[in-house]
Amino acid sequence: MPYPYKSEITFHFYMHPEIDEILNNLDLDYPVPSPAVLQNAARILDYMDDIYVERKGKFEPTAAESLYIMWNVEGLEFHIECLKNGAILYTFRKGKLGKMYGSANIDYFLLLIRNYLLAGIC
């Protein structure tokens, strides 16, 4: 079987529309975020879209080459930052009392946020 010509090879890279918007509107003061930052932010946005919860905040670039978002859901407040080393820095709050914070890889973070949402909303 012959190899395909270069013109026949296509790469399908899905990028969340919000990530695409960030890249197209980057301020010259901020460097382009690393691929790990972009992939983690896209996975978080996909998760938010999958659970159909209203989201008013958007990811914003920071001077530390990361992306940051604050997300409010049913009285819960989430501060999420995708760091350039691939970790997620997070703070979850419920009112003034409940607070959870730390850093984790993307898979563990998505598990944490799912459990925190289930415990906080129910």
Specify the pLDDT at position 10: 41
pTM (predicted TM-score): 0.80
| pLDDT tens per residue across span 22-77 | 888 887 777 888 889 999 999 999 888 888 777 788 888 888 889 999 988 878 88
Contacts of 18 (CB under 8 A, 6+ apart): 41, 45, 58, 59
Cβ–Cβ under 8 Å, residues 94 and 76: yes
**Angle at CA of residue 76, ends 78 and 19, nearest 5°:** 35
Q: Distance (Å, rounded) from C-alpha 71 to C-alpha 57?
A: 6
Give the residue with greater pLDDT, 13 vs 7: 13
